[in-house]
Amino acid sequence: MPTALIILAAGQGTRMLSDTPKVLHRLAGAPLLVHAMEAGRALEAARTVVVAGHGGAAVADAARAHDPEAITVTQEEQLGTGHAVAQAMPALSGFAGDAVVLFGDTPFIRPETLAAMREARQAGHDVVVLGFEAAEPGRYGRLVMDGDRLTRIVEAKDATDEERAIKLCNSGVICASAETLSTLVGAIGNDNAAGEYYLTDIVGLANLRGLSCTAIRCDEAETLGVNTRADLARAEAVFQDRARTEAMAGGVTLTAPETVFFAHDTVIGRDTVIGPNVIFGPGVTVESGAEIRGFCHLEGCHVSHGATVGPFARLRPGAELANDVHVGNFVEVKNAVIDDGAKVNHLTYIGDAHVGARSNIGAGTITCNYDGVMKHRTEIGADAFIGSSTMLVAPVNIGARAMTGSGSVITEDVPDGALAIARGKQSNKPGLGIRLIERLRAIKARKTN
């Protein structure tokens, strides 16, 4: 049976004290909204509907950037969760399948948990609610169970002493057929102190209609919501702790785990060694047997088997390192392919370039790729040797097995096997160095006095 996702993302998030919509604040390099969308990926959702409100255009752009087929609807007035789901229902008109309601500020719902909810639906339950055993139930709504039957959800402020003693709490995540959800949401009233339409009321309405309701349990950590900057920091800590644990369990060595930060989509192969204070931005894949030494920053790049990066290196988007490449300290690589066995070991910028296999790039080399308006490429052939402090003024081609003299400014193509030297002729002035220093010291002494 096909499944649709409804992601509630209309809240302004006033406690974030931000002009940015709450669901667009980033966790592990991606908006909170993307984490919610990713949680539903395991369900192979046939349709995804994002309910936006505050900053709706930006939320819609983020949703489509992650899933071009995502549908965004607008909740003009925030009149409760039931009202928000009601705004999504026209987008599911005629949809013959289940609908799962998620929250854009709750990033840790596991795919396995959503799969368990779907299995409960397939077992014959009409409405399935996700609950969790809370260490401190306090403000949470309680799930009132009769065996495996969920009879109602009671808000903490409305609960009796007996009901407040219940530790099974409501996460807000719900699964039902789209048709059932639409019918029940349409029957929700707003006869309460806040004048809002609460999605939780559908459980009572379903029971009145003789429908079967149940609850699936998950770990409380899955239900962590983000409402403040402190919540966001806690969520980041939770994500990083999980990511580090999973990396090490998968055969990755982290020499100082607490100092390594992963993005939501980081992929690291087994037998890779990662040193201290390494940061992975989005879009990084590191193959097995590589080493990322300390204090490196990687984003949007690919590091192949046996490559070594760092320390103090930066790989920017489009950096492609082939097998056994060496990228050393204070080297930056951007939108460049470095072929097998090439070495870029010191104080160098390689941008918009292709470095051939086994080539050696000397310290202080720069590919001068930007003319102030457009970017230009540098091509370096296999087995080339680029002398220290060479400026390669793109567009320029350096042939296979070619060389450049240290301190050269290369503005023309260098043929295969040639040596290019492009620097001013040295001129020595006898005694001028001493006289110049003495003059400068005299000027300094006069200023001091």
Active site residues: 346
Identify whether the C-beta of residue 174 lies closer than 8 Å to the C-beta of residue 125: no
Task: Write the CB contacts of 72 (distance below 8 Å, at least 6 apart in sequence).
Answer: 49, 50, 51, 52, 56, 59, 60, 63, 64
Give the count of alpha carbons within 13 A of 194, CB side only: 11
Report the C-alpha gap between 384 and 365 in whole angstroms: 13
> How do beta strands 320-321 and 326-338 pair?
parallel
SS3 state of residue 258: helix
- What are the structure tokens assigned to 240, written together? 């990083």
- Using only C-alpha atoms, the chain has a radius of gyration, in whole angstroms, of 30
SS3 state of residue 274: strand
| DSSP secondary structure code for residue 14 in this structure | G
Identify whether the C-beta of residue 80 lies closer than 8 Å to the C-beta of residue 38: no
**Could you check whether the bond before residue 415 is cis, i.e. omega within 30 degrees of 0?**
no
Closest alpha carbon to 92 in 128, 49, 33, 38: 49
Closest alpha carbon to 257 in 300, 235, 268, 109: 268
- In the block, residue with structure tokens 């505050």: 54
- What are the structure tokens assigned to 424, written together? 């001013």
Report the C-alpha gap between 417 and 414 in whole angstroms: 8
CA angle centred on 142, ends 136 and 146, rounded to 5°: 125
- In the block, residue with structure tokens 């200023």: 447
CA angle centred on 373, ends 360 and 389, rounded to 5°: 25
Report the C-alpha gap between 244 and 394 in whole angstroms: 41
Beta strands in 158-242 (DSSP E): 168-177, 213-218
Identify whether the C-beta of residue 32 lies closer than 8 Å to the C-beta of residue 126: no
| DSSP secondary structure code for residue 145 in this structure | E
